[in-house]
Structure 1
């Protein structure tokens, strides 16, 4: 056999090359549509705040929170989870529940405080980024029943709900008032810092939508919707205030009972994760 014939035999067939070529992965449309819609809600809220329409901005953030709660469930129910979807969800959360609430709060009530105002807004935004980064890295070692720190959608609902209640009550030009900007300062810091604590917050992830429930549960859901419609700003803000303090209640109860307060179950990869307890 000549050297030329040997080279021809060693060359792979076109069919083999085609089979060994890595297949291009597509993107699941359905869950990412919910994520993009949530991202649009955050972007819309910022635009509305820039135009002084704070009620519309608050509604945009609350709609983003609802959509964010659905994209993961839709992905699991339709078996369309992907690494791309997880990263897309985190980036959308940073915009809708990190940057957007900070900018809206600053525009609404913090800019009159000067440096203190933008520092409070930045602290909230930075804590949201840290909260999301920690969630992504600890997702495999945290008890699924609880969040480690206040979840970013709930923190955004606290900040935005506070704005919505006062705006609905007729308070305009808050940044030029005497006391309210400092109250906004406190709310922004509380929501931001609570996101990066180790306080456990119930995640509601053990509630299955596929499981049958008693008839009374549907009646209670209908009553809950009716109560929210009585006065949406006040009722929603009240609910998220209760949730925002519930973690501290669980933490204190476990401390008093001598039970472990950490939501980290096991840790085998990172030797220094003990500091998160």
Structure 2
């Protein structure tokens, strides 16, 4: 019985990803973000449950990546689609302007499709992860959940931070295009990134992890949703420094 517990938790990630997809398509991006966060929560604890119960399996590995493909691959692509669509208009719509106008698909409205590069890059990254035996205690390239949090933070910043300058940057189509390409690169680059997996409680063995967690908490308390992209940047930079020195 216990061998099915981690897989059930993974299926809860699938469920959250499906619900998030619906809300992302409806352009209710703040609700989509909630379900993506829940999915990532289940994604973390399915692995923890498998380790605690000692029931790791090939099925669990494949199922985990399939779940991540929905929650941390498809949903961020739809969110980027919606943000790019919003960058072409003056307001927060439902995305319906993309599809038809007087019976014709407008060329200028094809830009939002570019956002699905995030989904494509996520799928490629997850496929590589499944066959890579070197990503057990660390990652090669940005994990898809971290990338999903980065992209899902943008609509939350728009809705709740209320900063005209930042909003203008986020809804700039060139910023979104560059971020999409940067996201695709970070997902599949060869940069080693540390994982938040503690084999023991020793500060000496986990100094970077403890420092990262403490700084992340301080940033969230002081910067709220704006902290998320800063934390992801700090994660990448600190992993690079740790790898080089």
Tell me the TM-score normalized by structure 1: 0.66
SS at match of 1:147: strand
- For residues 51-200 of structure 1, the aligned pairs below 5 Å read 51-110=26-85, 112=88, 114-119=109-114, 121-139=115-133, 142=134, 144-170=136-162, 180-200=172-192
- When residues 167 and 181 of structure 1 are mapped into structure 2, their CA distance, relative to the original with a 3 A threshold, is farther
SS at match of 2:27: coil
> What is the alpha-carbon distance in structure 2 between the residues aligned to residue 163 and residue 243 of structure 1?
21
Q: Are the counterparts in 1 of residues 125 and 188 from structure 2 also a CA contact under 8 Å?
A: yes
Instruction: Report the counterpart of residue 6 of structure 2 in structure 1.
Output: 31
Q: Per-residue CA shift, 1:196-229, capped at 9, x if unaligned?
A: 1111111233x13xx4568xx9xx9799758635
Gaps of 5+ in 2: 89-107
Q: Per-residue CA shift, 1:115-139, capped at 9, x if unaligned?
A: 34312x2321111111111111112
> What is the alpha-carbon distance in structure 2 between the residues aligned to residue 123 and residue 203 of structure 1?
25
> What is the alpha-carbon distance in structure 2 between the residues aligned to residue 232 and residue 30 of structure 1?
34
Instruction: Report the counterpart of residue 236 of structure 1 in structure 2.
Output: 228
> What is the alpha-carbon distance in structure 2 between the residues aligned to residue 177 and residue 105 of structure 1?
14
Q: Are the counterparts in 2 of residues 124 and 193 from structure 1 also a CA contact under 8 Å?
A: no
> What is the alpha-carbon distance in structure 1 between the residues aligned to residue 220 and residue 42 of structure 2?
18
> What is the alpha-carbon distance in structure 1 between the residues aligned to residue 141 and residue 25 of structure 2?
30
Q: Per-residue CA shift, 1:251-277, capped at 9, x if unaligned?
A: 6x36xxxxxxxxxxxxxxxxxxxxxxx
Instruction: Report the counterpart of residue 269 of structure 1 in structure 2.
Output: none
Gaps of 5+ in 1: 1-25, 255-277
Instruction: Report the counterpart of residue 92 of structure 2 in structure 1.
Output: none
- When residues 83 and 213 of structure 1 are mapped into structure 2, their CA distance, relative to the original with a 3 A threshold, is same
Q: How many residues align?
A: 217
- When residues 244 and 188 of structure 1 are mapped into structure 2, their CA distance, relative to the original with a 3 A threshold, is farther
More helix by share: 2
> What is the alpha-carbon distance in structure 1 between the residues aligned to residue 118 and residue 43 of structure 2?
19
Q: Per-residue CA shift, 1:87-127, capped at 9, x if unaligned?
A: 111100111111111012212334636334312x2321111
Shift of 1:44: 1.9
> What is the alpha-carbon distance in structure 2 between the residues aligned to residue 53 and residue 178 of structure 1?
17
What's the Cα RMSD here? 3.4
> What is the alpha-carbon distance in structure 2 between the residues aligned to residue 116 and residue 54 of structure 1?
19
Shift of 1:231: 5.2
Instruction: Report the counterpart of residue 7 of structure 1 in structure 2.
Output: none
> What is the alpha-carbon distance in structure 2 between the residues aligned to residue 178 and residue 83 of structure 1?
40
